[in-house]
């Protein structure tokens, strides 16, 4: 998507070098409709510059820092030298992500999505999440509930969630813990099996979480959790171990939770 307004001083913007003059570089701002900025020769690179073309070329994609905006004179002053490599890499990735999200909007609502309707949906997502990409990513992870505060109609929310879950690659983290399950009862094997099923959640694990319990070696069982972030993963890991402990304690058994695997002695 392209913004219809003006960038703010201090903002990083992605642009394409449109024209190179002895006094500086004109840059088309790729994130804004019909906006063009100028990076004076003194802002193109550090130190003395003999030839601007030694530092940039026409049609080159660049990241610039907005120094000043004068809407009355339609002038945007830019700096290329004030952007470091880390900032440049992050900004380009953010821009690429928004291009992906723009494409997902077309998938969700059709290529003939009208400008005003596009703006209404996009502004709702931007207001809640900051970027379109973050909105789709949250929808892929948390589903409809993540979009309730946007104020969008249910049909629009359903379309976003369906598109997000088919197209967004969600970043996941994996954490692992272990629980030793022992039960002295005559039906101890069955009790341990029941405890393992409880640890797996009995089908009540959140949709965005993947949890698996596997046998390592008596009496040790491994619990592995994949989740969107460490806070969720750790809480689900501990809850899984607690569920197993609750079951086995009812039969006078024991459950010992630990994060490192116990090495088997020879």
In CATH, what is the architecture of 12-82? Answer: Beta Barrel (2.40)
Q: What average pLDDT does range 128-156 have in this prediction?
A: 92
In the structure, what pLDDT confidence band is assigned to residue 214 with cuts at 50, 70 and 90? very high
Task: With beta carbons less than 8 A apart as the criterion, state whether 74 and 32 touch.
Answer: no
Band (261; pLDDT cuts 50, 70, 90) = low
Q: For the domain covering 87-167, report its CATH number.
A: 1.10.150
Residues 6+ apart with CB under 8 A from 264: 217
More confident residue, 258 or 66: 66
Pairing of strands 173-182, 254-258: antiparallel
Q: Where are the domains of the chain?
A: 12-82, 87-167, 173-258
Task: Average the pLDDT over 192-216 and give the result.
Answer: 87
Give the Cα separation of 150 and 157 in Å (integer). 9
Confidence class for position 262, pLDDT limits 50, 70, 90: low
Which CATH architecture is the domain 173-258 placed in? 2-Layer Sandwich (3.30)
The percentage of the chain sitting over the pLDDT mark of 90, rounded to a whole number, equals 65
């Amino acid at each position: 998507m392209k913004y219809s307004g003006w960038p703010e001083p201090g903002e990083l913007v992605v642009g394409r070098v449109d024209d190179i003059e002895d006094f500086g570089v004109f840059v088309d701002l790729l994130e804004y409709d019909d906006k063009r900025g100028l990076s004076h020769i003194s802002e193109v690179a550090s130190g003395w510059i003999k030839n601007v073309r030694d530092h940039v070329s026409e049609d080159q994609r660049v990241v610039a820092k907005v120094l000043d905006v004068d809407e009355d004179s339609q002038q945007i002053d830019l700096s290329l030298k004030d952007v470091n490599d880390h900032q440049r890499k992050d900004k380009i990735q953010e821009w690429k992500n928004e291009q992906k999200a723009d494409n997902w909007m077309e998938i969700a609502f059709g290529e003939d999505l009208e400008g005003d309707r596009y703006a209404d949906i996009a502004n709702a997502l931007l207001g809640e999440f900051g970027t379109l990409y973050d909105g789709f990513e949250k929808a892929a992870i948390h589903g409809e509930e993540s979009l309730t505060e946007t104020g969008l109609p249910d049909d629009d929310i359903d379309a976003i969630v369906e598109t997000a879950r088919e197209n967004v690659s969600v970043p996941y983290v994996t954490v692992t813990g272990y629980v030793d399950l022992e039960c002295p009862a005559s039906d101890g094997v069955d009790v341990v099996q029941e405890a393992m099923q409880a640890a797996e959640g009995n089908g009540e694990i959140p949709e965005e979480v993947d949890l698996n319990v596997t046998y390592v070696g008596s009496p040790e069982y491994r619990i592995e959790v994949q989740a969107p972030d460490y806070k969720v993963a750790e809480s689900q890991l501990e809850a899984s171990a607690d569920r197993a402990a609750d079951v086995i304690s009812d039969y006078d058994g024991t459950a010992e939770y630990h994060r490192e695997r116990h090495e088997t002695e020879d």
